Amino acid sequence: MNNFEWNFPTKINYGPGKVNEVGEIAKAYGKKAMIATYARGGFLDSIIDTVEASLKEAGIEFVTFTGIEPNPRAQTIDKAIDKFKAEKCDLVIALGGGSVIDGSKYIAATSFSGGKAWDYVVLGDRVPREYTGAYPIISIPTISASGSECNAGGVLTNAETNEKSFSRSPYRFPKVAIVDPELLTSVPLSITKDSCVDIFSHLIEHYLSSHSESDFADRITEGIILTLKENFDKIITNLSDTEVRGQLALCSIFGWSGLQALGRTGSIPMHSIEMPLSAIYDLPHGRGMTIVIPPYLELMADVLPHRWAKLARRCFGVTEQDDLKAAKLLSVKVVEWLKSTESYLTLSDVNIPSDQFEKMADDVVRMFPGSKANTTTGPRPVTKEEIIKIYEMCK
Ligand SMILES: [Fe+2]
């Protein structure tokens, strides 16, 4: 087991109708809030109204910044930062899915620390700027997927360069996450499916990339995967089930909280390989993960076969005793699972052509370099040629 430091400073305020309490909760953290959210005109409109009404009732001033995109753009976030500063806000209320919450973290920390949002992301050999602090954040997740509602990570897309990258800062942990399962019932079926696969991707990244062993982390991860699978089956038959939405909300939060990787933190090659799909083609992140996961599992099965085999046996019913044979069954079982929930997708299903595979792989090895030239980090360095091969297998 590796040494680690871990904390979970975000208070979770869970329950149906909890969104109505945002005004009272916000009083402890600021006087003038920026509500950061998606563009109006979608299923969130009435929820934006609810948040505004609650703040008004509690006597909290606010401005509402709409228009944060799925795959939030640094250029949009910079506009929000300008508005936050011009309006002299001192609190961000992030109302949305991972994209909005990620973007809100950059609003809160960049407004405090100066510069542009993109200055702070990891980008190849560049040393990212460091925050000096952040304004407080209250997250109100409207989708269960990223875990962003309770963690310090955040992904941004640069629309000028078609790059997508991330950063992490302890200043950006939300102070409170208001997790209201009634809000989550408004998520449509296709986004619900994408979200469940994104949660799965978070659970398997470190499980399959670390060379350290931690029985505790393995059992936590396996327990969340089994909970996710059971509740995935339930939610696609009844999107309005608040009990099931609540269970998926916990899978989202703790699936990417660090708890699932205590003592065996690894790398996130599947996310790195997906990044160009979202950056270049604006594909929703969870949908991109759905496409990338099976070929990655197939191509890399022989790298850490005992880890692949453990996951296959404990979460997908594989009984094969030979590790390498069991490892190779993992991608087969995951494809079966995705097909059983009608979630399985290929690049052609989302109309992504094959003419940019070389550039996409170049982007991955440049932005997230591994220990050897022309590789990205993984359980061993993943070569540019292997990344292209994975895209080929996604067709
Ligand atoms: Fe993800």
Q: How confident is the model at residue 124 (pLDDT cuts 50, 70, 90)?
A: confident
Pairing status of strand 137-141 against strand 153-158: unpaired
**Are 309 and 328 part of one and the same domain?**
yes
> Which residue pairs from 302-307 have beta carbons closer than 8 angstroms and sit at least 24 positions apart in sequence?
302/327, 302/328, 303/378, 303/379, 303/380, 304/208, 304/209, 304/211, 304/379, 307/207, 307/208, 307/379
On whether residue 70 sits in a domain, the answer given is yes
Domain final residue, candidates 184, 212, 243? 184
Q: What is the pLDDT of residue 73?
A: 96
**Are 135 and 16 part of one and the same domain?**
yes
**C-alpha Rg value of the chain to the nearest Å:** 20
On whether residue 267 sits in a domain, the answer given is yes
On whether residue 123 sits in a domain, the answer given is yes
How does the average pLDDT of the chain come out, rounded?
96
CA of 84 from ligand 1 middle (Å) equals 27
**Number of domain units in the chain:** 2
CA of 157 from ligand 1 middle (Å) equals 14
CA of 260 from ligand 1 middle (Å) equals 14
Write the CATH number for 172: 3.40.50.1970
Query: Contact, 60 vs 21, CB < 8 A?
Result: no
CA of 315 from ligand 1 middle (Å) equals 20
CA of 271 from ligand 1 middle (Å) equals 6
Q: What is the pLDDT of residue 234?
A: 98
CA of 282 from ligand 1 middle (Å) equals 14
On whether residue 3 sits in a domain, the answer given is no
CA of 286 from ligand 1 middle (Å) equals 6
Q: What is the pLDDT of residue 81?
A: 98
**Are 373 and 288 part of one and the same domain?**
yes
State yes or no: pLDDT of 43 exceeds 90.
Answer: no
What tens digit of pLDDT does each residue of 202-256 get? 999 999 999 999 999 999 999 999 999 999 999 999 999 999 999 999 999 999 9
CA of 10 from ligand 1 middle (Å) equals 20
**Are 167 and 225 part of one and the same domain?**
no
Pairing status of strand 375-376 against strand 382-383: antiparallel
- Percentage of the chain beyond pLDDT 70 is 100
State yes or no: pLDDT of 125 exceeds 90.
Answer: no
CA of 201 from ligand 1 middle (Å) equals 6
On whether residue 6 sits in a domain, the answer given is no
CA of 232 from ligand 1 middle (Å) equals 17
State yes or no: pLDDT of 142 exceeds 90.
Answer: yes
Domain final residue, candidates 138, 160, 184? 184
Print the domain residue range for 330. 189-393
On whether residue 82 sits in a domain, the answer given is yes
**Are 19 and 155 part of one and the same domain?**
yes
**Are 175 and 29 part of one and the same domain?**
yes
Q: What is the pLDDT of residue 53?
A: 98
**Are 136 and 196 part of one and the same domain?**
no
What tens digit of pLDDT does each residue of 247-306 get? 999 999 999 999 999 999 999 999 999 999 998 998 999 999 999 999 999 999 999 999
Q: Which amino acid appears at position 114 of this protein?
A: G
**Are 298 and 349 part of one and the same domain?**
yes
**Are 200 and 161 part of one and the same domain?**
no
